[in-house]
Structure 1
Amino acid sequence: MTRQVSASRVVEAPAREIFELLADPANHPVIDGSGTVRGSRSTGPRRLEQGSRFGMDMRLGLPYRILNTVVEFEDGRKIAWRHFAGHRWRWELDDLGDGRTEVTETFDWSTARFPKVIELLGFPARNREGIEATLDRLPGMFPRAT
């Protein structure tokens, strides 16, 4: 059984610019389409790299705080983080040339400590909707001059 949901979009922006947006945790509440990411905590670096730890203010019914760790990192191409429950959020960028990038966001609970709980609570379907909404708003972060 595959324990991942993901979606992709082509964004009219260079991969490097998109990656820099993703690598700064202060931007996460701005691009989040799920409505759960409320703010970045002062803990952690301004630019993420392998092993970076960063905190976020969240809300899923009730407000809470979470500490994430970057567990996958290829500068300019891929970044993923997880928190104590073990599931991952991954972003992969494929530079298509001509200033366009295919962006894929994935919720991966194959590494979660309690994958059945994630499934029973309906997080895969909910997170797929959040991913779609995030990818729909991402192009607005990179307005192109006409």
Structure 2
Amino acid sequence: MFGSSRYLVSVTRLIPADRQWLFDLVADPAQHPVIDGSGSVKAARPGGPERLSLGATFSMDMNLGTDYRIRNTVIEFDEPSLIAWRHFNGHVWRYRFAEAPGGTQVTEEWDARGVWNRLALVLLGFPQRNRAGMAATLDRLAELAAARD
């Protein structure tokens, strides 16, 4: 299921897995390159936390046409239901986990509503690009959950 507005994009999928297990996977920065469906997350930078928590900062090696590093701060954390982080530009990556018949309903959101240059992000196609990457990320989460069985 897809949801979107001009500056908020979300993708939701039912994943037949335990909510805490899925939350733990996303709360581990070392797993982000494994679950990332966009292909832009390459590696967790050394020195970051092994597990995210409210206020934690972590950096990632990225590639979006060129290599770069990004530093993130966890701004929302309600285990095992919600985790979100923001980087210097201000947009937020958020994951919501809700128990549902047959598993966990996972929603990934890209939230640029509070970003000063949000119109530029829209004009550069980030909402559509991120929607496709988020759908692929949720597919990867489902594949990892299925491989556990």
TM-score interval w.r.t. the shorter chain? over 0.9
The normalised TM-score by structure 1 is 0.94
Take 2:88 and 2:144, find their aligned partners in 1: how far apart are those partners? 30
Counterpart of 1:105 in structure 2 is: 108
Where does 1:121-132 land on structure 2 (aligned, <5 Å)? 121-132=124-135
Pairwise CA RMSD of aligned residues? 1.3
The normalised TM-score by structure 2 is 0.92
Select the residue among 61, 67, 88 that pairs with 1:63.
67
Q: Is 2:135 the counterpart of 1:138?
A: no
Q: What is the percentage of aligned positions where both structures have the same residue?
A: 49
**Following TM superposition, where does structure 1 have runs of at least 4 consecutive aligned residues deviating by more than 2 angstroms?**
none
Structure 2: tracts of 5 or more residues without a match: none
Q: Which deviations, in whole Å up to 9, do the C-alpha atoms of 1:37-58 show, x marking residues without a partner?
A: 0010113211101100000000
Structure 1: tracts of 5 or more residues without a match: none
47-56 vs 133-142, which deviates more?
133-142
Q: Is 2:85 the counterpart of 1:81?
A: yes
Q: Which deviations, in whole Å up to 9, do the C-alpha atoms of 1:80-133 show, x marking residues without a partner?
A: 0010000000000001256x1000000000021211111111101100010111
Counterpart of 2:15 in structure 1 is: 11
Take 2:65 and 2:81, find their aligned partners in 1: how far apart are those partners? 33
Where does 1:16-35 land on structure 2 (aligned, <5 Å)? 16-35=20-39
